[in-house]
Amino acid sequence: MSRSGRWILCAYLVYLVLPLYWLFSMAISSNADIVGEFNAFPAAPTLANFAEIFSNPVWYQAFGNSLTYVFINTLISLAVAIPAAYAFSRYRFLGDKQLFFWLLTNRMAPPAVFLLPFFQLYSAIGLFDTPLAVALAHCLFTVPLSVWILEGFFSGVPTELDEMAQLDGHSFGYFFLRVFLPINRGAIGVTLFFCFMFSWVELLLARTLSGAEAKPIVVVMTRTVSASGLDWGVLAAAGVLTVLPGVLVVWFVRKDLVKGFALGRVS
Amino acid sequence: MSYKPQNNRAWLGVLPVLLIVAFSAVVPLMTVINYSVQDILDFNTRFFVGFEWYVQTLNDERFIEAFGRQLAFSFTVLALEIPLGIAVARGIPKNSRLTPLILIVLALPLLIPWNVVGTIWQIFARSDIGLLGVAINAMGISYNYTSEPLHAWLTLVAMDVWHWTSLVALLAFAGLTAIPQPYYQAAELDGASSWQVLRYVELPRLRGVLIIAVLLRLMDSFMIYTEPFVLTGGGPGNTTTFLSQYLATMAVGQFDLGPAAAFSVIYFLFILLFCWLFYQSVVKRDEETP
């Protein structure tokens, strides 16, 4: 590949890493060092900020809350999206194209539009301030996205596979659970990554649908900024911790990642 | 594309998705439309007002300003992110030991919670404690994004480029790896320059993924809320208040149910228009390539 391309890539990676470096550098500095004299490298590295987070229940419970709703959301999304994606990829049926388009429109709906009705809906059925409410609300964009990605992957699996299983006398259930899903492990991994990605990073709905009990980590962080003012070190440490789950997930799906980013449509 | 048999029982497979989306999208959307045509004083006193809120919203100066800012922002970041994303993708080695590592680093910004992205840029760009802010000021340029609208804009755009160019780059890279090697060999035999390879070999084959990239970025930049909320809070003044933020203030801050609902419907319809164009182009492509 061309030389200039390499340079652009390198320059971009530096641009990408610098803010992350700064976040990390602040996370291991004391607040006095941060607001004191400017240092490009941490003057006296310390883990005190992380200790503060792990000893304060507000912080680690918020972490738990976030992981809970992301987990529930991913489960629901996969459970409903897998059969639907299979149906879309294998059959034509009344209104299939329209339905698929309509599903996509939900991915395009700005969360801010749904703010008010969600608030009232979940209050009315008593789910307000539970992780389940946030998980269901996030289904608004994770379910259409999951169907979309999975359909792309499933369409790439030859239908001969389905026919072979039938000829071998396997029931549909056996074929689907023991043959089809294992083959599509990668696709499911990528979908999981996307559900995680969009549910973990969202703030607006998560903030609106949670009160004191189910406060997610992203909300605790914004409140720390406005309330206690400026404990930059703890804020940065919390930021570093919210990056970690993403790194773990991306590590697990690294092989299928690129294919997934093309939403399964590049083969 | 292989032949698909007609089978209406496939509806059974789609049913769970329909139920969950009905609950999380249809019911709320109906509520919004219902509100948008009523004047709601409290929950027992409401009047039908027809399209009054729509007319009011479309004539609302703050709405029009926010809309204009939104368009300017979305097109600025698109104009930067798409070419930069393609350029970055072209620089990624295809079969090197470094490839997975580069891809993971590129994916990082996409996995960071949006408010943390705001926070990262806040501490990175502040003129008192931020690496970037201090560096720029040290070069003799007075830079302070909390008081200067132009600086706030530049910082927001830099942040969005940082946050989302990776998505374009990863998509484009996925598209590039799908181009068969003989295409490149043929181009080399013809003595094509790097620029000609891009123009005549790569770009036509990237069309599909680029459509996805452009429209995903257009939609998502149109919905942007969290990052400016954390970084600038919409300020200084209203100079970085985009549509979502204005809407959130209206709906949750002031509880103006009717106008906020009309706003929502207009907002959603506009995005729907993009979505329809997108779907049309994807369907067309599927029909072209058997």
Q: Distances from the Cα of B106 to the Cαs of A12, A19, A187, A252, B156, in angstroms?
A: 9, 13, 20, 15, 19
> What pTM, to 2 d.p., does this model score?
0.84
Partner A, chain B 145-174, Cβ-Cβ below 8 Å: 162, 165-167, 169-171, 173-174
What's the start-to-end Cα distance of chain B, in Å?
5
pLDDT of residue B82: 93
In a mutagenesis test of the A interface, which of B1, B14, B128 is the best target, namely the one with the most A β-carbons within 10 Å? B14
pLDDT of residue A2: 61
Confidence of residue B289 (pLDDT cuts 50, 70, 90): low
Nearest to A243 among B17, B93, B112 (CB): B112
Size of interface A-B (CB pairs under 8 A): 319
B46 bridge partner residues: B40
Whether residue B241 has pLDDT greater than 50: yes
B38 bridge partner residues: B48
Please name the residues in contact with A109: beta carbons below 8 A apart, sequence gap of 6 or more: A140, A141, B25, B29, B268, B271
pLDDT of residue B290: 43
Please name the residues in contact with A64: beta carbons below 8 A apart, sequence gap of 6 or more: none
Weakly modelled stretches of chain A, pLDDT under 50: 226-228, 266-267
Please compute, for residue B3, the number of CA atoms within 13 A of its CA located in the half-sphere on the CB side.
2
pLDDT of residue B256: 73
The Cβ of residue A74 has, within 10 Å, a number of other Cβ atoms equal to 22
Please name the residues in contact with B46: beta carbons below 8 A apart, sequence gap of 6 or more: B38, B39, B40
Nearest to B170 among A40, A111, A261 (CB): A261
The Cβ of residue B225 has, within 10 Å, a number of other Cβ atoms equal to 22
Describe chain A by its helix, strand, coil percentages, rounded to 5: 75, 0, 25
pLDDT of residue B177: 81
Rounded CA-CA distance B50/B37 in Å is: 5
Which residues from chain A sit within 8 angstroms of residue B178, using beta carbons? Answer: 262, 266-267
Confidence of residue B286 (pLDDT cuts 50, 70, 90): low
The percentage of residues in chain B with a pLDDT greater than 90, rounded to a whole number, is 10
Which residues from chain B sit within 8 angstroms of residue A137, using beta carbons? Answer: 24
Of how many residues is chain B composed?
290
Q: Distances from the Cα of B174 to the Cαs of B57, B79, B171, B177, in angstroms?
A: 42, 21, 5, 5
Write the DSSP assignment of A19-79 as a string of letters: HHHHHHHHHTS-HHHHHSS--SS-SS---HHHHHHHH-HHHHHHHHHHHHHHHHHHHHHHH
Whether residue B278 has pLDDT greater than 80: no
Tell me if B35 and A38 make a contact (CB, 8 A cut-off): no
pLDDT of residue A207: 82
More confident call, B208 vs B64: B64
Query: Please, what are the domains in chain B?
Result: 26-59+256-290 (no CATH), 61-246 (1.10.3720.10)
Confidence of residue B44 (pLDDT cuts 50, 70, 90): low
- Name the residue of chain A whose CA is nearest to B166's CA: A16
pLDDT of residue A155: 82
CA distance B203 to chain A (A): 15
pLDDT of residue A84: 92
Q: pLDDT tens for residues B112-127? A: 888 888 888 888 888 7
CB environment B93-116: b (16+ within 10 A), e (fewer): eeeeeebeebbebbbbbbbbbbbb
Task: Look up residue B153 and give its amino acid.
Answer: W
The mean pLDDT value of chain B amounts to 82
Q: pLDDT tens for residues B188-239? A: 888 888 888 888 888 888 877 787 788 788 888 888 888 888 888 777 777 7
Closest CA to B263 of B107, B66, B106: B66
More confident call, B41 vs B189: B189
A92 bridge partner residues: B6
pLDDT of residue A41: 76
Nearest to B257 among A91, A116, A200 (CB): A116
Q: What is the 3-state secondary structure (H, E, C) of chain B?
A: CCCCCECHHHHHHHHHHHHHHHHHHHHHHHHHHHHHCEEECCCCCEEECCCHHHHHHHHCHHHHHHHHHHHHHHHHHHHHHHHHHHHHHHHCCCCCCCHHHHHHHHHHHHHCCHHHHHHHHHHHHCCCCCHHHHHHHHCCCCCCCCCCHHHHHHHHHHHHHHHHHHHHHHHHHHHHHCCCHHHHHHHHHCCCCHHHHHHHHHHHHHHHHHHHHHHHHHHHHHCCCHHHHHHCCCCCCCCCCCHHHHHHHHHHHCCCHHHHHHHHHHHHHHHHHHHHHHHHHHHHHHHHCC
Which residues from chain B sit within 8 angstroms of residue A23, using beta carbons? Answer: 119-120, 123-124
- Name the residue of chain B whose CA is nearest to A15's CA: B162
Please name the residues in contact with B198: beta carbons below 8 A apart, sequence gap of 6 or more: B86, B90
Rounded CA-CA distance A39/B131 in Å is: 9
pLDDT of residue B259: 83
Rounded CA-CA distance B116/B122 in Å is: 9
Rounded CA-CA distance B9/B101 in Å is: 45
* Cβ–Cβ contact B29 with A under 8 A: yes
Whether residue B162 has pLDDT greater than 90: yes
Tell me if B167 and A103 make a contact (CB, 8 A cut-off): no
* Cβ–Cβ contact B94 with A under 8 A: yes
Of how many residues is chain A composed?
267
B48 bridge partner residues: B38
Please name the residues in contact with A13: beta carbons below 8 A apart, sequence gap of 6 or more: B102, B105, B106
**ipTM value:** 0.82
Q: Distances from the Cα of B72 to the Cαs of B158, B213, B242, B250, in angstroms?
A: 14, 18, 10, 22
Nearest to A110 among B174, B208, B267 (CB): B267
